[in-house]
Amino acid sequence: MAKKKKANRKARKKRQENGFAGEHVLDRLYAVIDSRKGADPETSYTARLFSRGRQQIAKKLGEEAVEALIEGIRGDKPKLVGESADVLYHLLTLWAATGVKPPAVWKELARREGLSGLAEKAARKQK
């Protein structure tokens, strides 16, 4: 237990030194994903996805979403956690491939915060 706490403190300190202290894990993951553009597809799974293009990234996102859906129906929480992480990773990869930045999505989520889902959908239909 003490080793784990020490490792966590060390990782937290390293993130702070690299300017990641206040960022969310999804922001940090996006930065790593985005940095893999143009990297060697032989040494990076993310670079391999980028080399295959947006359509393949979107297809992989869909596959992972279906796998998460299946685990959600089955009720296997540990597997759903893993599949959810896969969905988020592939979604962030698709964002990076299309030039969508996380702050744009966070801003849209903040705009919708506190709105009724039904009212928000109705407003979209009126536009």
Domain map (residue ranges) of the chain: 22-102
Q: 44 and 106 in contact (C-beta within 8 Å)?
A: no
Q: State yes or no: pLDDT of 119 exceeds 80.
A: no
In this prediction the pTM is 0.76
Residues 6+ apart with CB under 8 A from 70: 83
Q: Does CATH place domain 22-102 in 3.40.800.10?
A: no
Q: State yes or no: pLDDT of 7 exceeds 70.
A: no
pLDDT in tens, 60-118: 999 999 999 999 999 999 999 999 999 999 999 999 999 999 999 999 999 999 888 78
